Chain A
Amino acid sequence: MEWEPVIGLEIHAQLKTRSKIFSGTSTAFGAAPNTQASAVDLGLPGVLPVLNAEAVRMATMLGIAIDAEVAGRSVFARKNYFYPDLPKGYQISQYELPIVARGHLDITLGDGTTKRVGVTRAHLEEDAGKSLHEDFHGMTGIDLNRAGTPLLEIVSEPDLRSAAEAVAYMKRLHALVRYLGICDGNMQEGSFRCDANVSVRPRGREAFGTRAEIKNLNSFRFIERAINHEIERQIDLIEGGGTMIQETRLYDPERDETRPMRTKEEANDYRYFPDPDLLPVEIDRAFIEEVRATLPELPDAKAARFESAYALAAAEAAVLTGSRELADYYETAVEHSGGQAKLCANWVTGELAAALNRSERNIDDCPVGPRALGGLVARIHDGTISGKIAKQVFEAMWAGEGDADAVIESRGLRQVTDSGAIEGMVDEVIAANPEQVEQFRAGRDKVLGFFVGQVMKASGGKANPKQVNELLRKKLAG
């Protein structure tokens, strides 16, 4: 039987506010334990929450960007459960009336087609603290610095049909929240986390199968592997005559498998009810329009502009707009290259991307800045150096030897265009290789390549290849 996976994602994006969602405590990452846990975050007796305006603005930005309804009235509710990293014994979240509902996101599939993925809702809530399981004499340590950090939980429709689609969706959303500047997207630090609901059904059947929820997916690689693993597990289980049970599973990246969470499977009864410490949040049209006016250019619009303004292929434009930082880098490089858009695109997606990859760096800590790269491309275009020498110059720039002009100067890599000098080298090479001259004259055109190579070698790669070619043809014909 052919099986079809059905996948929906719940993504938690930490919002990049300065202070927490319900208190004036800093959200900065990495502070000593519990030094960023104020009376409100600790849930001391008598404290009360007051909502951060910036969290509301950021949620509104996302709502607009995914073409969703931003609710005129949304309500905070309490989700009640006991856990040591949840100081109040309830999480302030949104339940019946979320701030954002019914949006969508378009993803590009492997075959180049586009698929629209529904976003059911996005709601504001507070993050929990962290449990540290290192051994404190058999005890667990609780750090509440993260408690109260604003989260936007973005819930997709079960529209995804493969692990690859799930990853494409997640990457798209990741790019979007970073474009919007509402989340730093740092997956190692947990700023962007994902739970996946996965089920399988016989292809053609409409009803969904029983799903499992996979928690704790904090890299794109893990998500793909975990979902694929889970799909296989479910198919094996069902084909082996077993029955799926609805459960929560944890992905273990070390063993590359999912396993049921060990918490006793009591039915969770969260006893949601409207939080009486908070009043309904109202958002009017004027506010939405005000936020809309401040939205940056979003990935789709930017890619379309790149295609037309820089005459790029769709695939190239998609890569270059994959993140706001990369797109900004590219545009700055083009500006400093004298408008060499195509050549800049080749360099950014080629040499630069490879170098970043090799050194495991991100574009924002790239040792060769966009102005410098643009300068290098300009020197290729004006013939100061060849494309081949340019790679050498790039490596030197990467190593910190200065900008393109400085490297070309200090290493003496300026292309030789003096026809007298080139002619001398051509003459020497012809004189030294009589046998090959014969072959060429006998009609073996390929030998020209040999001569070009010899002349370039003699020039240390600096001779203008076009001039070398022309001169050789003239002289050898003579």
Chain B
Amino acid sequence: MSKILKVEGLTKHFPGRKHSLFGKRDIVQAVDGLNFEVETGEAIGLVGESGCGKSTTGRLITRLLEPTSGSIEFNGKDITHLSNAQMRPIRADLQIIFQDPYASLNPRHTVGTIVASPFRIGGIEPEGGTKKRVQELLEIVGLNPEHYNRYPHEFSGGQRQRIGIARALALRPKLIVADEPVSALDVSIQAQVINLLKDLQKQFDIAFIFIAHDLAVVRHFAQRVAVMYLGNIVEIADRDTLYSNPKHPYTKALLSAVPEVDPDAIGSRERIRLTGDVPNPINPPSGCRFRTRCWKAQEICASNPPELIQIGMSQVACHFPE
């Protein structure tokens, strides 16, 4: 298998506010030194709570944001600091789907125009004409091809997300970053979109980075899962290992916090309750960033940031893994 994406030391620091006229500006450490790889056609999940940097990571990889440091290698090419113009030919292979299906579609454009936009921007004339190809795409994502001339507001939330997916698929990308693609949708619609994305991933052999806060959703989509906390990856493992045998205390706590639907299973599960909130990324805790909420924390956790190392089947960044 070949690697479609290789991320090394990826870091994004946002400028925060200044405390005084000539004082130093705060730095929001949104993403701090990520290392991971994605294989061709692989679906990897990126999970974590708000503020963990998962969405920023997605935007860095698709180069909607400029990385502060580190490198991004896509399809064998270093794209870390490419300009917009240099990125244009690469965008055909690297697409993004957003959470809010309404905000990401231009309300004044028809569905046909929206889905055809990658062809227009890339100056590509698909075989058989743009219209035919767009209608094929609409069909692939389960929309009526005759709705080509309708506007986004005429569609429901789930259908709008399908429009976004069709647009992302237009140029047959090699990697799609899906940023919370189902979290704005009703429960009964979520499953439809997850199934659709899964089918497309298999059918077209597209690699996916699936960004979500919902661990159960990620479990149904990704083959490998990375857990993020405060700008760091704390654990990466293949799905079955991660869900059945979490090594990082945070992963464990996260899994135990997911509400259980089966009333009989509720009592039988181990319950870990984290206290407090996620610390401020402007001034993250020294050493291991999770230590302030961790029940296993020792002195070393405050002094040394743990490296992401291989333990059994998982890569874990913890001084005291399970």
Same assembly: no
Chain B residues in contact with chain A, CB under 8 A? none
- A residues with a Cβ closer than 8 A to B are none
